[in-house]
């Protein structure tokens, strides 16, 4: 479990953090709202957020976050609220709503419940194999296959092909790939994404040489789409010059001016 707590109530944070430490959960405290794009790179299981910290931008921020991370469990833990506010938050994408004051054990139990539901939902939709060309990606086995043969991929390489394939033909920027796989923002000049894409591409080409899967969009990122490579038989390609070339045919293809030139060449 990896969660973040967006709150400024020092007493609540201290008690909750102590309990999370005993559980062995990874957690971090955010004292102010951060861009939803930054939350993506944290690779969280859940977020506990006090909407009062967000101020007037609370609803817009919550909506953007839910749209950017539909798989993230979000538990709103805030002060007294109206029915209309709670309904609005849940409709925007929050999974649960707790009213302060509350016990940390209740917060933890609500987070666990949300994460369980999320995982069941994800496993139900992602358990199906993804087929592209000759490659079959099995998330439940953490493997990719060509026919019955497993492609020898490292964990990071499998995470990469799974991420690219899940984009369904959309171009993923290098920065997005890096934040999703490594969990933090990419440092300028870091070529880790390119290195892993190259290794993955080589393994795919070796396992399925008649197909191309990973496409480079220079200066942007990469796209995953299976495209068949047509193998052209040299015997099927017509020659541009007839096999038995008759020099006399050259006169048939020329006009009067060319005839004069040919005659001049013949007299030399």
Domain spans of the chain, in order of start: 2-125, 130-228
Structure token digits, residue 180: 């999703």
The label of the residue with tokens 């509350």 reads 102
Is a pLDDT exceeding 80 seen at residue 169?
yes
Span 110-154, pLDDT tens digits: 888 888 777 665 555 555 788 999 999 987 777 899 988 899 888
**What mean pLDDT comes out for the span 197-213?**
93
What is residue 5's predicted lDDT score, i.e. its pLDDT?
92
Question: For a pLDDT cut of 70, what percent of the chain falls above it?
Answer: 81
* pLDDT at residue 77, rounded to an integer: 92
205: pLDDT strictly greater than 90: yes
Say if residues 146 and 208 touch (Cβ distance below 8 Å). Answer: yes
User: What would the mean pLDDT of 204-232 be, rounded to a whole number?
Assistant: 89
Q: How confident is the model at residue 259 (pLDDT cuts 50, 70, 90)?
A: very low
Position 171 scores a pLDDT of: 92
Task: Return the minimum-mean-pLDDT range out of 41-45, 74-78, 145-149, 237-241.
Answer: 237-241
Q: Would the CA dihedral through 175, 180, 186, 190 be positive or negative?
A: negative
CATH superfamily of 2-125: Response regulator (3.40.50.2300)
User: Mean pLDDT over residues 41-58, rounded?
Assistant: 87
231 pLDDT more than 60: no
Res 265: pLDDT: 45
Angle between helices 155-166 and 174-182 (to 10 degrees): 130
Q: What pLDDT does 258 receive?
A: 45
User: Rounded to 5 degrees, what angle do the CA atoms 177, 162, 112 make?
Assistant: 85
Provide the CATH number for the domain formed by 130-228 in this structure: 1.10.10.10
Contact 135, 151 (CB under 8 A): yes
The alpha helices in the chain, defined as continuous H runs, are 10-23, 36-42, 58-68, 83-92, 104-126, 155-166, 174-182, 192-207, 249-252, 256-267
| pLDDT(225) > 90 | yes
What mean pLDDT do residues 35-45 have? 78
Quick check: 107 pLDDT over 60?
yes
pLDDT band at 184 (very low <50, low <70, confident <90, very high): low
Contacts of 137 (CB under 8 A, 6+ apart): 129, 130, 131, 144, 161, 162, 165
Please report, for residues 33, 57, 60, 102, 202, the alpha-carbon distance to residue 54 in angstroms, rounded to integers and kept in the order given. Answer: 6, 6, 10, 20, 47
């Amino acid at each position: 479990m990896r969660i973040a707590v967006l709150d400024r109530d020092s007493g609540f944070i201290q008690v909750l953090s102590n309990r999370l430490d005993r559980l062995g959960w990874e957690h971090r405290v955010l004292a102010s709202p951060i861009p939803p794009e930054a939350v993506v790179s944290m690779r969280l299981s859940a977020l506990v957020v006090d909407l009062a910290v967000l101020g007037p931008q609370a609803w817009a921020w919550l909506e953007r976050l839910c749209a950017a991370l539909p798989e993230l469990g979000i538990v709103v833990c805030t002060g007294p609220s109206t029915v209309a506010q709670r309904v609005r938050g849940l409709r925007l994408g929050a999974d649960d709503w707790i009213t302060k004051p509350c016990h940390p054990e209740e917060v933890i139990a609500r987070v666990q419940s949300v994460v369980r539901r999320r995982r069941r939902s994800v496993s139900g939709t992602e358990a199906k194999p993804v087929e592209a060309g000759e490659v079959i990606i099995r998330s439940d086995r953490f493997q990719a296959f060509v026919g019955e043969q497993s492609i020898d991929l490292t964990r990071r390489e499998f995470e990469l092909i799974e991420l690219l394939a899940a984009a369904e033909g959309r171009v993923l920027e290098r920065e997005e790939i890096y934040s999703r796989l490594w969990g933090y923002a990419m440092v300028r000049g870091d070529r880790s994404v390119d290195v892993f894409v190259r290794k993955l591409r080589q393994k795919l080409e070796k396992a399925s040489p008649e197909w191309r899967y990973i496409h480079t969009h220079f200066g942007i990122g990469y796209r995953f789409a299976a495209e068949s490579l047509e193998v052209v038989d040299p015997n099927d390609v017509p020659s541009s010059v007839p096999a038995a070339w008759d020099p006399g045919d050259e006169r048939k293809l020329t006009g009067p001016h060319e005839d004069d030139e040919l005659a001049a060449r013949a007299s030399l």
